Structure 1
Amino acid sequence: MTHHQWTTAEQSDWLKQRIAAFIDSQANKTTVKEFFPQVIKEWRKLWPLAEPTADEITKAKSVEDAIKQKKTKDEERIKAWFHNHTRGSTSGSGTRGLLKINGQARFRQEWQVYQTMTYEIKWKAVIDKEWEAYQAKWKADHPGTDLPQGRFAFMNSFLKDKYNSESDEVKTAVKERQAAMKIESEAQAK
């Protein structure tokens, strides 16, 4: 897709000469109150607003509205020009911090540790079968409507229920594994 140039070469050069002032005004937070009003005033002296066409007047319903719309569009183009031609150099302080990718791992809840310990060996086939039955029942009871939850949410609620109904012995083993996972995670973060 080609980029449409709305300025003439002379207008573009004139705008480029004011980029440094625009950046300064952003740093000083005077862009809206001082910079743009002054630039637009100077722009209008050099390139007065063209009279609205008959089509523009018809669409606007009056000459005054057509002039106002044309003026607003012109001002918005000028403002957008500065923002588009200084993008990246005026973002806040100009520097961005790096994301800490290997930060501290999230502490897992007990049912999540239970899932890690039991999903593949105990629950995967059961969940697959239950999921198919759930989908079939939903489609029969609610034809033409989407399922209220996806497979992932279904699996999570299934495993939460199973964990809550487990024996104290299993829950103790899960808590021990959870503590070990926390220690492993903290050791890796160092």
Structure 2
Amino acid sequence: MFVKTDLNYGGKAERGLPAELQPMFSLQPDCPIRDWDDYRLMRRDEIEPEWWDNPHLVIENYIAHNDTLYRVYGCGHALICILAHSKDLIKKEDEHPDDRWVYVDRRQLNADYSVIGEFQTDLWQQLAGFTSCYPLDYFCLDVVHDGEHHTIIDLNLTPYFGEEPSDAQWLAILRRGLHDLTRDRR
């Protein structure tokens, strides 16, 4: 099992809030995990019984197949699907040289997709189901592959990318998706 906080990346961004806002948005004092580097990979029988009921913790199945993860950024109709590489326990998309990405228009997700590069049909089916149930305008998903199936393991409504602005080519597509979204709502 994987035990982590209910805040993205252990609440790193929340620790940067002004002091008067931190109590409302940061980790609570009774949270036994204090930061992203305190996340734990544990057997079910090793987890403290009271942790199961702690509203500040997330306990989930740990799914790992290899050193990859899929990250899906959504902005308007634009979806960028990235096959990222990371050897870390907590896999992050860090613009590794071997990463690959593909653009998909959300309105076309129900099409009959064949394998696009290393992006199998099962991934598109997961995304089509998610976006039809949760029609969010802006989000980021972490998806893992266990060797057979893709599983959405994390949803971030305010995706955090990094300290420095990225020069990734796909960001222009997401910006265009945001522009189209705001234009359609005027």
Calculate the TM-score normalised by the size of structure 1: 0.20
